[in-house]
Structure 1
């Protein structure tokens, strides 16, 4: 069975680049352009991994992860926050809201692969 990933990011460029990296790592990828759409995709099919942007319209990353983790099936996906916010407070907030890992934008194939290994995706 293939690994699945949902990319939730309002930037089409980030979604495209992330999709390329993840597909090269063997993931089946779907995407959403905001947190609300992301939750709807989770309703349809919960993925193994969620790559989550912080700053988005409609519903931001923190609102998304809190809503996700409150769901009965919301503890299963690993969540990697992708953000340009690199201060400790943002990272702490993301982790306490339920993120498993975080990666700074822009990231490359190697950086993302290292982060995924840390949370159990080999």
Structure 2
């Protein structure tokens, strides 16, 4: 499920994000108690390429592009409300930007019985 949250004012062209921006966005998203982990999304397309490694689950958009995050969440979480909360966490790092949230999967709480 992909959810796009309303964006703020357009970004200025020619601005560049600091080197640690993708990591800061990842930390902010992972700090939410309902997020189990980051995920690359469909085909691993949600990723940032950093020196010597690839950070799955976060892609900071350029001017006019949304920032994308893909997450695995805990079962029972209302997804529309969580998308808004995650977008706000991203905006605390990046400012008023459009944010696309992809829910790649849902996991059961530890010790919960599966189907059957």
The TM-score range, normalised by the shorter chain, is: under 0.3
Find the structure with the greater CA-based Rg: 2
Bigger helix fraction: 1
Give the TM-score, by structure 1 length.
0.26
Q: Which has the higher contact order (CA 8 A, sep 6+)?
A: 2
Give the TM-score, by structure 2 length.
0.27
Bigger strand fraction: 2
